[in-house]
Structure 1
């Protein structure tokens, strides 16, 4: 039984529709009784692994020590950092709920009845809880190009977290993939701002659909713009690129009502984000108007002293952050540096209390909106729903729609039911390698034993095709090491099989642990597959990877390539279903797959001046949007509702007819790209995705897909921060292209007209061409 401080009049209103003014009144009532200890405590968050002993039993002395300081927030299951103890890699939702309940009870006993806020990373389902269904990583959601499936992932994720007593989910990741070396690429929705904005909106609506959970966008802002590819490396970026590459997704989720956000570990143009007035206050609060609660990333205020070296002491670090930004909650992690530093700051400058109270108001508003004063540990009714069959079906469907068929020479796939198959590779019988990091623990857990609902590729071969249909031999480990004897054995099996399915890729990792110096797959994996291909077997390459690893000559040596990305535990079944044609692949690459090391920093939406040695655009292994099907789709009848736009309020309808002209039912993602061939404010991009729609067509069926373009679709953000957001569009021609591979050859005046290209002219008179000057 929890003792709550909340007055009866506030408690009675929680179940009703509450206006902003009423929230303010309730917060006013809470604030009148808060001491300085309460204020500092509310702004502090502690990691759970400092609340347990070596066997993961709750250390009540430790929690009471933090509780007497009125710490207002905690995070994560304790196993996330330390891994397996006593044969377990984690807790069930019920076990986690019992832990949260006891922490909550002790906290409220010591702090006068104020509930704590508990948060947890859950970037691909509630994958730190052992009995929840694990979804594919965000990169798979992006490859599905299906917002409905991503919404459902968010809904199930929040429900499972709430069942564990955790109402705050650290998701989604809205960083834009820029350098595929970056070890958090798989956590993103890919390299496109529009795709990320659409899917970010979908998952936030799903996460917050129960009205008891808070999503948390991350990582504000520019985190992934790393030239080196190393995690936490500082970035240099123009205001134009910051606003037009990173801001759209964050603004989309803020417009969708996201309740919280998280900043990041890096410095932008030499200024750490955690002390960056321009980004944390002027852009986030003033220009974008975000009024929700902002939390630091882990230990980030202290990092001003120990990592960024912009503060000489932790006290000074606290001062810089609190005085220069509007950060609300310090994910301190452990210890008393934030508490001590804030108290020193209050003593030196009592007026800082007004700024701190603004943060506490946002924290208390969040707790009220989540109903925590009424029910400090919500979600008990969800316990019976965790891991149900519908969840498995949702994760399986997302895996199916996210797996990308990149190459299919001679229509090798789908395989005949009676095909002779040799299955091999380090990832062929390892669900952990299908899932990647942030699965059970931060680093991820290899193997099959801890995965309740899914199956490896090998296990799925057994259950779907049967033991007599294939031979399995692992052959090598994930780092590419094998013995001469193992290679000879594998070659013998391959020579006897018509087809060899080689399942290779990356080991699991998270954050800095995933840094690499070379994007190429481990050379031993490449050599191993080459040796098998030399036997004459038809090799089908299956990849499980969190980023597009360079393949050297493998695409020329193998017959088919399937990129599973990281579909997690249901991915093994989805792969086998696609191999045998039980599912028609429909995934599309949400990132560019580079071919050479020198081109890893060339996204599809690069500027027109980015060219390779030949003077042409750089050749990639596979372009953004690539993805094959077992059927054929024909596009026709591209039409525009007008070719002249004369008002910024005018819309433009673009229609195209898509026909399934092949022999199987299938799903197709129809994509609309826009190019502004000439733009005076900034060198234009080659093209940019502006609309997409995933449709399902039976054999012979046609559907007319219509997209409506508005001013925002052909506009860009003017490069100014702290003066309000300003969308501008120069009067000029704009070229529409349907399908990723369509080349409209916009600079060739004698080019033959492409039926999937169309031009419209913007002539509003608001911004004549050449009138905009970037400062």
Structure 2
């Protein structure tokens, strides 16, 4: 009887759950129909001038009078409303509460003084947190990629989403999903690295965290740069579909990414902003994207001004709209001509309405069409909880590249020499597209070290070791001697034309002699070297990626003292240290670690934190080696300095007990693998286990080795955990003749601590006939961690 009642209860619970899911789907569909009807009705009543205004942006600074909104400026400059305010807060000197009030005042103006009463979308950068004055500054994206921790990425972006909503912002121009394999390229720092699978995983986590499960509470993301901006060379359709598009496809199909940004570059000789095959055929029809396509800044204008693909600036706007682009940013340059072009008959109002509908549906999804002014409560954009998250992020982003046993630093260390241009420079903490970097690089404003508080390496060491260890500091050398020459960029952000080198001018002249003296008298030397914001970022490519200037010479002088040198490298790219590495006692890749970087580095150096990060880019050994990517297979006669997936820990881990089937059907849903990892050291720590697959020799359509799964495992000393990967055969598909193909054969499955450090491996025969797919719907392995 009890068993019967239990069965009935389970059946009823399942039925109720199914009904709830069914009702949710019905409600969602109903809401979508209602929103579309509302938008259609709105479009019918809108004047042409207001329609065109919704497809453009404007700088917020142009509407301000000091720290307050100017209604006179609004009436003069946006009498028909406006669609977007991109990078709205970077130019302002407001505090967070003043910013919130200015945004609310502008929305009130749009609702009360324009015919259609449509609020604007406020958009900012967010790869390192909300890019506004006083907001939490997180590690740069390349460092966050090295965490291999999607859960942390999602938490970070969710926190950023809340900060942005707290002032009234609803849109980010992030994440950057370009696959980056060339350390010479300045924008590599904005990427998650060289691996499409890893980038797709991290990008999806970013999108989910930012947008949340309810867009009316979340912030809409923008996947960029669509597509292939980080790729140099002739267009390769196979590579484009398999690698370049993967992160975008995942963000769209699994993350419901709301916006895409057309890149500055060309595909098949056509600028992305005016490329119909790219923006309509591929993005909308093949990938199923139904959101808004925005231009990169000035990219519509550059269809004419740079590429001459259009004969005039008005034609650049027409070609872009017809291609599938919806919004011109940062402000209207080509789109303001649309009214005249419609009157001339060169573009149809239906093209305008199609783009407008997408914009208005986006605003509806974000809750803006039911906007109500928020209460003016004080806003804190860097509360203590945020700093804890920034600290954790930095700890997981910093990669230990070498350690001869000097780390963790002995508690018996009495005298510590801290030297180098990045030892006490807040510029060493800040990646491109942080508020501080944008303000410095584009607007010539010095970095404020206190809003938010930026903790340098020296300050972190002094805070935590100052009572027990004598710490002596001297810069010793400069970053490099830079002239005030404008970067030579043919395409890209046109603010670079106003570039002025001011960000690091106030540092004292380095005293090399004194630095060497305190180094020789110390027990240990910490040398903080590398880049700052003028040496990497948009428009800041470097042909020579050795440590800049005379830094390498200075490090060699430090090594000549005979004292152990801990080399800490800051920056946004791998830098060549081939000659320096052998005589360094330890090497730490710090990237740009954000506001808590100094505290995180100190705790890693002293052993309070066990490093766990691993490289998501291959570290080249010499200039000519870049670009380089692990999946092509490294040249045995020219191996890199450090391989993809590499990173050290104070703990040691043993991999064992690999179990997997010998044969599976090609039609199986999941291929299971299990293995164990044991922490056999005296330190608690985390290990990033990586799954690679090598295809049969006869299958030349796949790369020799490809990442197909990973998981970050936290293990106390002596503990063992079992890891399970469930692999879909669709992950073995390659693109050919407009379809996806899975071949049978013998595949090698490899479990490693890096792409070269393979701990376990075995072969699985996949039996059956070749499978042809129109599209993929399985992108990732599933993994489970089982405590033993």
Q: Shared topology, TM-score over 0.5? A: yes
- Matched residue SS, 2:750: strand
Distance 1:379 1:656 in 2: 54
Distance 1:353 1:680 in 2: 51
- Matched residue SS, 2:511: helix
- Deviates most, 442-451 or 572-581: 442-451
Q: Which residue of 1 aligns with 2:610?
A: 584
Distance 1:199 1:466 in 2: 38
Q: Which residue of 2 aligns with 1:326?
A: 324
- Deviates most, 29-38 or 631-640: 29-38
Determine which of 161, 164, 187 is the counterpart of 2:190: 187
**What is the CA-CA distance between 1:643 and the residue it aligns to?**
2.4
Determine which of 549, 562, 565 is the counterpart of 1:536: 562
**What is the CA-CA distance between 1:561 and the residue it aligns to?**
0.2
Can you list the C-alpha shifts for 1:37-62, whole angstroms capped at 9, x where unaligned?
A: 12211111122243346x66645444
Distance 2:193 2:743 in 1: 28
Contact 2:183 2:573 in 1 (8 A): yes
Distance 2:356 2:372 in 1: 18
Compute the TM-score of the two structures, normalised by the length of structure 1.
0.87
Determine if the alignment matches structure 1 residue 153 to structure 2 residue 156: yes
Distance 1:522 1:669 in 2: 31
Q: Which residue of 1 aligns with 2:335?
A: 338
Distance 1:473 1:275 in 2: 53
Relative distance call for 1:477 and 1:523 in structure 2 (3 A) is closer
Q: Which residue of 1 aligns with 2:141?
A: 138
Relative distance call for 1:115 and 1:142 in structure 2 (3 A) is same
- Matched residue SS, 1:44: coil
Determine which of 503, 507, 511 is the counterpart of 2:532: 507
Unpaired segments of 5 or more residues in structure 2? 1-26, 441-445, 483-506, 773-788
- Matched residue SS, 1:19: helix
Q: Which residue of 1 aligns with 2:736?
A: 718
Compute the TM-score of the two structures, normalised by the length of structure 2.
0.86
Contact 1:140 1:566 in 2 (8 A): yes
**What is the CA-CA distance between 1:246 and the residue it aligns to?**
1.4
Determine which of 749, 766, 782 is the counterpart of 1:762: 766
Q: Which residue of 2 aligns with 1:12?
A: none
Q: Which residue of 2 aligns with 1:638?
A: 658
**What is the CA-CA distance between 1:101 and the residue it aligns to?**
2.1
Determine if the alignment matches structure 1 residue 463 to structure 2 residue 463: yes
Determine which of 711, 722, 734 is the counterpart of 1:704: 722
Can you list the C-alpha shifts for 1:430-467, whole angstroms capped at 9, x where unaligned?
A: 22221122222454656662442441111111111115
**What is the CA-CA distance between 1:761 and the residue it aligns to?**
1.9
Relative distance call for 1:336 and 1:553 in structure 2 (3 A) is closer
- Mapping of 1:33-432 within 5 angstroms? 33-52=45-64, 58-77=69-88, 79-80=90-91, 90-112=93-115, 113-130=117-134, 132-209=135-212, 211=215, 212=217, 213-226=219-232, 235-255=233-253, 256-323=255-322, 325-331=323-329, 333-334=330-331, 336-340=333-337, 342-349=338-345, 352-375=348-371, 384=379, 386-409=381-404, 411-419=405-413, 420-432=415-427
Contact 2:96 2:380 in 1 (8 A): no
Contact 1:139 1:189 in 2 (8 A): yes
Relative distance call for 1:520 and 1:90 in structure 2 (3 A) is farther
**What is the CA-CA distance between 1:537 and the residue it aligns to?**
1.0
Q: Which residue of 2 aligns with 1:85?
A: none
Distance 1:525 1:380 in 2: 50
- Matched residue SS, 2:247: helix
Relative distance call for 1:350 and 1:268 in structure 2 (3 A) is closer
Relative distance call for 1:719 and 1:456 in structure 2 (3 A) is farther
**What is the CA-CA distance between 1:484 and the residue it aligns to?**
11
Distance 1:140 1:378 in 2: 36
Can you list the C-alpha shifts for 1:277-312, whole angstroms capped at 9, x where unaligned?
A: 111111000000100111111111111111222222
Distance 1:293 1:67 in 2: 22
Determine if the alignment matches structure 1 residue 735 to structure 2 residue 748: yes
Distance 1:189 1:218 in 2: 12
**What is the CA-CA distance between 1:531 and the residue it aligns to?**
0.4
**What is the CA-CA distance between 1:680 and the residue it aligns to?**
4.8
**What is the CA-CA distance between 1:127 and the residue it aligns to?**
2.9
Contact 1:192 1:590 in 2 (8 A): yes
Relative distance call for 1:251 and 1:198 in structure 2 (3 A) is same
Distance 1:628 1:441 in 2: 31
Distance 1:196 1:187 in 2: 11
**What is the CA-CA distance between 1:336 and the residue it aligns to?**
5.0
Determine which of 542, 551, 561 is the counterpart of 1:525: 551
Q: Which residue of 2 aligns with 1:440?
A: 435
**What is the CA-CA distance between 1:185 and the residue it aligns to?**
1.0
- Deviates most, 149-158 or 513-522: 513-522
Contact 1:52 1:78 in 2 (8 A): no
Contact 1:431 1:456 in 2 (8 A): yes
Distance 1:377 1:530 in 2: 60
**What is the CA-CA distance between 1:485 and the residue it aligns to?**
8.2
Aligned residues: 709
- Mapping of 1:581-730 within 5 angstroms? 581-606=607-632, 608=633, 611=635, 616=636, 618-640=638-660, 642-678=661-697, 680=699, 682=701, 684-718=702-736, 720=738, 726-730=739-743
Distance 1:321 1:348 in 2: 18
